[in-house]
Amino acid sequence: MKVIKNALQMQKIALKHIKNGDEIGLIPTMGALHDGHVSLIVKSEKNDDITIVSIFVNPTQFGPNEDYLKYPRTVQKDLEICRKNHVNYVFMPSVNDMFPVDYKTFVEVKALQDILCGKFRINHFRGVATVVTKLFNISCADRGYFGMKDFQQLKIIEKMIRDLNFRTKIVPCPIVREKSGLAISSRNSYLSVEEKKASLNISRILREASESFRDKNLNFVRKNAINKLKRIRGSRVDYAEVVNFIDLSPADKDTKKAVFAVAVWIGKTRLIDNVIMTK
């Protein structure tokens, strides 16, 4: 495993592999790696000749009052996880390498970036789309691996890929959960013992909503779930929306496949989760 810290060097290495006929898989991360990230690495190992994991805490996707400075940074642990899972390259650029002082270019996916999390995190998805564009360009990736916990992010990246004719194929990967049902996230480390216990209710409520989706009125399913989420101790609900699986448009009575996506604060920690619902 090699650690590369310069974007131009990473791109030259990737182009050499492409010239040799290798297929490249990219797992974009902000570090603080966990079993969810490992599941993406494992998929790339199966599909690709070369696996690249990028570790970059992207400042352009954080708002002024968000947790950029305190976002968990566990570099040595991350490198050991990558080494253990046979990653070929870890790309760890500096902020100045990715976004120099005079940087002026951003990628936006209109409409999709303004709903759900986008309502509460202004310019977040602009930052995500921009950094992913750069990472795809630098890594020359044949495949990019994204977890479905960040379902809106996944759909935005898929749309960006289609609209801008990227060669990279997106590989959606299932949510990885703890045995308790809690969706694994780097931000779970912020939770106190009591807050983590309270957060377990989120996945339970989503599961119950999914089970009632086939035979209950859609508005009832959503409102019932919101009421339950609000009753979680220390919670604050940013949103709880049922959207079409394909394009994130609002689901209706004729929707056959939907996603119930939520963002819930437990204390000072914002957690997102979702469940796929089918009729």
Residue range(s) of every CATH 3.40.50.620 domain in the chain? 2-173
Q: What is the pLDDT of residues 152-181, one digit of tens each?
A: 999 999 999 999 999 999 999 999 999 999
Pairing of strands 143-147, 24-29: parallel
Q: Residue 59 corresponds to which tokens in the numbers above?
A: 């400042």
Locus of tokens 């290495």: 13
Residue 8 half-sphere exposure toward CB, CA atoms < 13 A: 1
Residues of the chain with CATH 3.30.1300.10: 186-278
Fold type of domain 2-173: Rossmann fold (3.40.50)
Does the active-site annotation cover 37?
A: yes
Token pair recorded at residue 69: 């400075």
Per-residue pLDDT, 215: 81
Quickly state the pLDDT bin for 216 (edges 50, 70, 90): confident
Q: What is the pLDDT of residue 71?
A: 95
| Statement: residue 188 has pLDDT above 90 | yes
Question: What's residue 214's pLDDT?
Answer: 82
Task: Output the DSSP codes for 120-178.
Answer: HSTTHHHHHHHHHHHHHHHHT-SEEEEETTSHHHHHHHHHHHHHTT-SPEEEEEPPPB-
Q: Which H or E element spans position 195?
A: helix 193-212
Q: Architecture of domain 186-278 in CATH?
A: 2-Layer Sandwich (3.30)
Catalytic residue among 17, 37, 86, 124: 37
